[in-house]
Each structure stands twice: as structure tokens, then as C-alpha cells.
Amino acid sequence: MTKTPSAIKAVDAPTRTGSRYPAPYDEPCKARVKHILGDVFGLDQFGVNLVTLEPGAWSSQRHWHEKEDEFIFVLSGEITLVDDEGEHILKPGMCAGFKANNGNGHCLKNLSSAAVQYLEVGTRGPRETAWYSDIDMKVELSNQKGVYTRKDGTAI
């Protein structure tokens, strides 16, 4: 059994840059960097990431999950939450949550001129489906690996 650390500096965690979206849907997320914190500690019931969005970068395409709850907490910078109700400016110390299966498509956009950092926490189940509000795409996830298709299930 591999021993996991008790504590680390968050910026020392492994990173993932960009998104797994097929082109051209990946374009707005190319300047997104995630420090994958939960994996360092072997967490498997929920995921935790320290996310940095450079100016102009998005967290994701606007989406909602069938089974996954999501939560974000803004650490630095100013970020715009875009959801079904419109745009909302979030500043350090503010947070937002997204209940599973509520159908409220959401994403974060860095429309400012400085980098933004936030923590994101989400449910980590073995299977999940996410729907994209503004584009003809969905993803079927199995053990954190996704297959992206059009909403009718045909290949993109």
C-alpha cells in the first residue's frame, strides 16, 4: 500500500492544464490550470482542486450534472459566474454551490485582467452524466473517464 502524505503545499500537487473537451469546445478552457489536491491524499468520495484561470479563461463550458454536487470558494481575483439567471461577480471570500440534477447550467469566466484562484469540490461517483446548456454536447463519465457525444448520443 502506497503511503499518502498528511499535508502538502497545494501548488506542489500534480496539475492538469486545459480541458478534456473535444475541439473546438476546449478552446475557452486552454488557460485553466487545476492542482489535483484530492488525489494526493487518496480521496475517492469527493474531488478537490485548486484552480487558476488566467484572464479570458473559462472553468468549463456551461453545464450541469445529474448526480454530482459542486462547490467553489474564491480565493483571489474576480470571477464571473454564468448560470441560467445571468452573470454574477464573485470576489475573494465568496462561494457558490450547484446541486446535482437541478438543470441550472453554470460556468466561471475570468473576464478580468488578472489571474483568479478558487477551490472546487465535487462529488466523485463511479458514473455520471453532465449536460452542456449552450452547445450540443453531453459527457458520460465512468470512473472519471469521459465519453463526449452530442445530446442524442451520436459522435462529435
Q: What is the pLDDT of residues 42-78, one digit of tens each?
A: 999 999 999 999 999 999 999 999 999 999 999 999 9
Counting the structural domains of the chain, the total is: 1
Read off the CATH number of the domain in which 34 is found.
Answer: 2.60.120.10
Q: Concatenated DSSP letters for the chain?
A: -PPPPS---GGGS-EEES-SPPTTTTGGGTTEEEEEHHHHTT--SEEEEEEEE-TT-BSSSSEEESS--EEEEEEES-EEEEETTEEEEE-TT-EEEE-TT----BEEE--SSS-EEEEEEEE--SEEEEEESSSS-EEEEETTEEEEE-TTS-B-
Q: Considering the domain boundaries, does residue 137 fall inside one?
A: no
Q: What is the pTM of this model?
A: 0.94
Domain that holds residue 111: 13-127
* 1-38 pLDDT, tens digit each: 568 888 999 999 999 999 999 999 999 999 999 999 99
Q: Would 23 be classed as within a structural domain?
A: yes
